[in-house]
Structure 1
Amino acid sequence: MRPIRLPEPPGDGMMETPEIFAGGGGGGATVVRRAVLIGNGSPGAENQCLGLARALGLADNVTLYRVTRPRGGINEWLHFLPISLHKFIDQLLRQFFRNTRFAVVVQGRKPYRVSTGGSVGLSAVLEADVKKIVTVARDTYEKEGPTLVVACGWDTISYSSLIRKLTSDNVFVIQIQHPRSRLDRFDLVVTPRHDYYALTTSGQQEVPRLFRRWITPQEPPGSNVVLTIGALHQADSAALRLAAIAWHDELAPLPKPLLIVNIGGPTGNCKYGVDLARQLITSLYNVLDSCGSVRISFTRRTPQKVADVIFKEFNRHPKIYIWDGEEPNPHMGHLAWADAFVVTADSVSMLSEACSTGKPVYVIGTEHCKWKLSAFHKTLRERGVVRPFTGLEDISNTWSYSPLNDAIEVATRVREVIAERGWTVG
């Protein structure tokens, strides 16, 4: 059996905590030992928060809060509103139309339930409460030290910025994904480099001047902005080694090379349909002779018609297994045991994870991408971490590149900025 190739963690000791700071020996309140994470219900966003907490060595002491919008009925048309206004209108409508025939229109037929944190690896998720977070950060500062607050997603911006405003001396606030304006509301902003695509020559030509400021960030990166190539995630070396053990019995016996195919779904900047599914089918047939086995996974964004076309074609193929969506999710096992990947071009998260393994990554559908997503793919190609999936590949061949390591690089910058305040991460 061929060994699993995983990128090794940095060997310069950067992630180790000096002994003097361990266990509170560094003066108590100057050591950051805990993290409050604020997500928006999207696994892609919340995994970024968790990935940074892992890279900082705080994964064992995190609390995940979630900002949840009202769902169902008319609420599906109100997601463009600021979340506080959306919640106010929802409460108003529910009171006004309660016990009337219009209640179903307002509320929907199924009550909305806040899911647990199973999708992001935590057993429980709390409803975001600024007052509670601020109170705990203040009241426990002397005993527990400062609190690191990491938020990701548009709906979390008002929460994280208010927390910093109310208790800036007790917290260090990091906002992942660009908040578009007033970056001084946060101690640090972490955002992909392609979020600044509108400032490039190509970006300036693509958008009428009147609409530029509303579409993407305008100000160039300042001193409190950390630029990444892709998305942060939890698939670090330690996590993949654990996944390799957990999935050994199922994935180790499979004929090699093992090709993992991850299929996302169309987005505003990468629109496609069954046409891409048929292109993928043709290309997979062309490379099957060089594959030992193939495993295909869909995401919750994958259109049913796309999944149906692929399932109908490959459901009975002896070399191909299609994950049915039932738990346990084999995604981490796939990352650990794959010899190569094919990933649809729409997903920055899935591409970032695959490109962090150091294994060959083929992309399908880049021709459907535009705007800043096309800039992301251009960067990946220039770094030599991805190649287009054409169907002419020999999957047994490989190539080398420097794996993406955004979480470690961001964690290094976080430690530097926190040190300027006289704190350290323990």
Structure 2
Amino acid sequence: MAVNLPLSIWTVTDGRVGIENQALGLAEAIQRLTPAEITTKRLRFQHLFDRWPNALRFWPRAMLADASDRIEAPFPDIAIANGRASLPFSTRLKHWSGGRTYVVQLQDPRTDLSAFDLVIPPLHDGVIGPNVFSILGSPNRITSERLEQEAAPFRTQLAELARPRIAVLIGGRSKAYDMSAATAERLADQVAQAVETSGGSLLLTFSRRTPGAARAALMARLDGVPGLIWDGEGPNPYFAFLEAADHILVTADSVNMAAEAAATGKPVQILALDGDGGKFDALHAALQSRGATRPFSGTLESWTYAPLTETDRAAREVLARMRA
């Protein structure tokens, strides 16, 4: 596939942070390898069509809300799509662009894979095919340069906190896991004891998926523990917490947060939740086998390992296949 530089890259998602960051992470990794210009496309359907199944979205471009980004010519060299809302567009982009656009779909699209040039799902999803390149975890935007840049506005505030600094990344209830108030109280007791025993500081952030009762239980128990708890107001210190942390604790439900934490090269321990992990058990087993994570049972552990660089590996694969 002959292309001119710089490459034009679209990320095509519904704009949710976790979904969009995966696509941006891969786009930025490609940009680190070759000159490229990235355009972010956020898709929003009209309210009438918002909950329609994709099988009935025959004319997806006509169904977009006025505030949505347009999917129209000139089409890019590469489109990186992610999430259910992207599928009515990513499955048609090859046709709309007359074959110009190399279409990459992240995660398991659960549809005919032949619509895409390349599918990049998590290894634990078990997707197989000639145009499938599975990675451990999910693509992310973690680089040492980005962490330093994002941490800059918080550096003075964080510098005052005692070490070791313990970042705690709280996810939420999912199909595989539950996060009840009782579960949150158990986690809070473990975290508080670890911070107090170490003489260090807490850096805690919640996900938008964290249930209100679980959030309240955590905040009540951890109130007064040295450190910072982000309450959702003001700039998000998520990247700053990763940069400042000496230890990282992550709830078991989040593929994104586990992969992002493992990309730092810092000790990552997994906070157990109630429920049957299902395919997530394979993810955590793989991360442990790689030496990136260990279970957390109340005691902080220190070790070293090579940071997870699956996003860069995927970027190299995109360019190699596109140019083959």
The reply to whether TM is greater than 0.5 is: yes
3-state SS, counterpart of residue 149 of structure 1: strand
Gaps of 5+ in 2: none
Q: Which amino acid aligns with 1:252?
A: A
1:259/1:291 contact within 8 Å kept: no
1:35 shift after superposition: 0.8
Is the 1:32–1:148 Cα contact (8 Å) retained in structure 2? Answer: no
Secondary structure class of the residue paired with 1:56? helix
**Which aligned segments of 4 or more residues in structure 1 are displaced greater than 3 angstroms?**
28-32, 83-88
1:159 partnered with 2:89: yes
Question: Do 1:38 and 1:128's aligned partners in 2 also have CA atoms closer than 8 Å?
Answer: no
The answer to whether structure 1 residue 79 and structure 2 residue 51 are counterparts is yes
Aligned letter for 2:144? Answer: S
Q: Give the equivalent residue in structure 2 for 1:105.
A: none
* Aligned equivalent of 1:170: 100
1:316 aligned partner, one-letter code: G
Work out whether residues 165 and 185 of structure 1, in 8 Å CA contact, stay in contact via their aligned partners in 2.
Answer: no
The percent of aligned pairs where both chains have the same amino acid is: 30
Taking the aligned partners of 2:98 and 2:129, their CA distance within structure 1 comes to 20
Is 1:127 the counterpart of 2:65 in the alignment? no
Partner residue in 1 for 2:207:
299
TM-score by length of 2: 0.89
Who is 2:9 aligned against? Answer: 35
Secondary structure of 2:176's partner?
coil
Cα deviations by residue, 1:368-389 (Å, 9 ceiling, x for unpaired): 3422112211211222211111
Letter in 2 for 1:374: D
TM-score by length of 1: 0.69
User: Which residue of 152, 163, 167 corresponds with 1:256?
Assistant: 163
What is the CA–CA distance in structure 1 between the aligned matches of 2:304 and 2:52, rounded to whole Å? 43
Q: Say if 2:39 is the partner of 1:63.
A: yes
CA distance in 1, matches of 2:107, 2:57: 22
> SS at 1:358's partner residue?
coil
Aligned equivalents of 2:46, 2:220: Cα separation in 1: 36
Matched pairs, number: 317
Residue 390 (1) aligns with residue 294 (2): no
Counterpart CA distance in 2 for 1:367 and 1:304 is 17
* Aligned match for 1:45, one of 12, 19, 32: 19
Larger Rg over CA atoms: 1
Shift of 1:182: 1.6
1:366/1:377 contact within 8 Å kept: no
User: Relative to 1, partners in 2 of residues 1:176 and 1:379: Cα closer, same or farther, differing over 3 Å?
Assistant: same
**What is the letter of the counterpart of residue 230 of structure 2?**
W
Q: 1:55 to 1:259 in 2, by over 3 A?
A: same
Q: 1:121-171 CA distances to partner (integer Å, 9 max, x unpaired)?
A: xxxxx62433x2xx212xxxxxxxx52111001221120121112224321
Correspondences of 1:126-205 after superposition (within 5 Å):
127-130=68-71, 132=72, 135-137=73-75, 147-196=77-126
Give RMSD over aligned pairs.
2.5
Unaligned runs of 5+ in 1: 1-27, 92-112, 115-125, 138-145, 197-216, 421-426
SS at match of 1:266: coil
Partners of 1:306 and 1:233 in 2: CA distance: 26
Does residue 358 of structure 1 match 2:265?
yes
Partners of 1:286 and 1:301 in 2: CA distance: 25
Change (3 A) 1:173 1:370: same
In 2, the alpha carbon distance for the partners of 1:43 and 1:243 equals 16
